[in-house]
Chains A and B, each alone.
Chain A
Amino acid sequence: MELTALTAHKLLKLLSENEVSPEEVASAYLKRIEAVDKKLNSFAHIDPDEVLKKAKKIKGGKLKGLPIAVKDNFCVKGQLTTCSSKILKGFRPPYNATVIDKLEQEGALILGNLNMDEFAFGSSCETSCYGPTRNPWNIDYAPGGSSGGSAASVAARLTPWSLGSDTGGSIRQPASLCGVVGLKPTYGRVSRYGLIAFASSLDQIGPLTQNVEDAALLMNIISGYDKKDSTSVNTAVPDYLKSFTGDIKGIKIGIPKEYFISGIDPDVKDTVTKAIDILKKLGASVDEISLPHTEYAVATYYIVAPGEASSNLARFDGMHYGHRTNNLKKGTDNALIDMYSKTRGEGFGDEAKRRILLGTYVLSSGYYDAYYLKALKVRTKIAEDFSKAFKNFDCIVTPTSPTGAFKIGEKTSDPLSMYLSDIFTISANLAGIPAMSVPCGFTSGNLPVGLQILGKPFDEEMLFKVTHAYQQITDWHTRVPAGCK
């Protein structure tokens, strides 16, 4: 039996029945990572000896030693965590993120940290200081981003599941491009404590998994109020595994016409249309709706997110952790400012620099009203589009991304074209609502396509219910890339 071919649920069953030991499972994954990840580069940091040592000691909890890998922006105590940036070189957090504590309390084994776009700035995993992660379905293609390593590693079965973070689509877009399930929960559902911040009003942690059941199980463990994150919301967490009623008869689904614009790949359009037909056959009622401010989402986001990022990334100053320049001239005036500027100039990659500059500009005196305040007002309009739609509909279904995966290098010289690849995912972050991507087919080039489903705040159960019903009669989520079998 190939352990690494199994879903988290199936592995958990074997572990619970003592059919296999945590060590055997960990060894199987380590072996597979060793063999396959040379070409994918999905892991940023992994310490096999340490993993095996921990596997020997681990027991109990709901997860019984089941492995998981996390994006390189989750603080894992004592383990390299660098946001795939040179400026955090060598950083070993002195504490755990809350989600890591929760996972370890339930007996999860952290395999390592996964490659990402530097500080989650990107949609292709190409801005990592460790080089790009490659798409398991075709290694000439990007896996999407910024949680590219989180999606590629699950698609290639290098981990049963993973965690990512989503600020403008960074879980859903790579999940779509790699053919796995990815959920961005409602803002406030999962504690962000110990997630190295990008844009604090938009960031949210979520699962990337092989199927919807595994995503629900992981959500059961990571969700909930945390006093260490004052933006986490103190409402009861349901048992998401009970969302699976199998019955979606009469559920009202809205299809926003603005998401089927010209410019969308015809293969994506066909594939998503077929998935919607299946939902109709299952008894859902499907109607066209309008979310009129959709076309303003990307522009709004690229004011709000860089603005918040420029402030959050001020903490990388060469003083507390990570890189500090070696090129300080002795006896310079303003030695401290010189140290900051050189450290940050050397430590940040180009995309991080661009976003910090853009953010600083839109927040600077004289421009604040024209850019930042304007964007916050449009954000209200985008959120209102959704609240109006949810008065009459239970959920909204769209493509996750306008295209399948694009080639590595294809968009790196034109930041704006890269930004536009998140055109369908950004609105959910601006509105704070939950959204999920599930595999729903392939392009003619055999690259995965994702179906996005968006729900009311704190109604992840609806997303689980609908996608679970869909996965009961389709098998897209069971496909494994040929090169990785």
Chain B
Amino acid sequence: MAINKDTIKYVAKLSRIELEESTLEDFTSQIGRILTYIEKLNQLDTENTVPTSHAVELKNVFRKDENTPSLENQAALSNAPEQENGHFKVPKII
């Protein structure tokens, strides 16, 4: 299935990545080639195959809902581009 520029533009929007026009062109052809290659999976009959999302069989992992020490506020904020009063600061939303 070839992919067109508008779809790549749409996916870039979903991914929150701003792209230059020239990059958009390159990606459309490169991702198109990859998707064409991927289509080889359709040669296989998987009608009755169970999907594997995880190689090692694991049941749900539960733990007790107990309060344990976590990262200190200032440590968690130590890499923030902007912070104020112990919070991450972001551009105005409303």
Contacts and interface: CB of A to CB of B under 8 A. Distances in A.
Contact of B27 (A320, A354, A383): A354
Interface in B1-55: 3, 7-8, 11-19, 23, 26-27, 30-31, 33-35, 37-42, 44, 46, 49-55
Nearest to A92: B79
Given A299-B37, A353-B27, A357-B11, A345 B56 contact: no
Contacts of B3: 361
Interface in B56-94: 56, 58, 61, 63, 71, 75-76, 78-82, 88, 90-93
Contact of A383 (B12, B40, B55): B55
Interface in A294-333: 295-296, 298-300, 302-303, 310, 317-324, 328
23 contacts: A91-B79, A92-B79, A95-B75, A230-B61, A233-B58, A296-B41, A299-B41, A300-B41, A319-B90, A321-B80, A322-B81, A328-B91, A336-B90, A339-B91, A353-B19, A357-B12, A358-B31, A374-B41, A374-B46, A376-B52, A377-B46, A378-B44, A381-B44
Given A94-B71, A361-B3, A416 B37 contact: yes
A382 B47 CA distance: 15
A118 B61 CA distance: 31
B16 A377 contact: no
B55 A430 contact: yes
Contact of A341 (B17, B34, B75): B17
Given A302-B38, A345-B17, A354-B30, A320 B90 contact: no
A430 B30 CA distance: 24
Interface of B: 3, 7-8, 11-19, 23, 26-27, 30-31, 33-35, 37-42, 44, 46, 49-56, 58, 61, 63, 71, 75-76, 78-82, 88, 90-93
A341 B16 CA distance: 4
A233 B59 CA distance: 11
Given A303-B38, A336-B90, A379 B80 contact: no
Q: Which 9 A-B pairs have the closest CB atoms?
A: A432-B55, A345-B18, A376-B51, A321-B79, A324-B81, A377-B46, A335-B91, A94-B75, A230-B61
A92 B31 contact: no
Contacts of A136: none
Given A381-B49, A429-B55, 18 more contacts: A91-B79, A95-B71, A227-B63, A299-B37, A299-B39, A302-B34, A303-B41, A321-B81, A335-B92, A336-B93, A341-B17, A342-B18, A345-B17, A353-B19, A354-B27, A360-B15, A377-B46, A379-B52
Contact of A350 (B23, B41, B50, B58): B23
A356 B19 CA distance: 12
Interface in A337-364: 337-342, 344-346, 348, 350, 353-354, 356-358, 360-361, 364
A185 to B, nearest CB: 12
A469 interface: no
Interface in A427-465: 429-433, 457
A90 interface: yes
Interface of A: 90-92, 94-95, 186-188, 201-202, 227, 230-231, 233, 293, 295-296, 298-300, 302-303, 310, 317-324, 328, 335-342, 344-346, 348, 350, 353-354, 356-358, 360-361, 364, 371, 373-381, 383, 415-416, 419, 429-433, 457
Contacts of A300: 41
Contact of B15 (A357, A378, A433): A357
B79 A380 contact: no
Given A336-B93, A361-B11, A415-B34, A94 B88 contact: no
Nearest to B46: A377
A457 B56 contact: yes
A457 B41 CA distance: 26
Nearest to A361: B11
A377 B51 contact: yes
Given A321-B80, A339-B91, A357-B31, A201 B71 contact: no
Given A361-B7, A415-B34, A324 B82 contact: yes
A295 B44 CA distance: 11
B46 A378 contact: yes
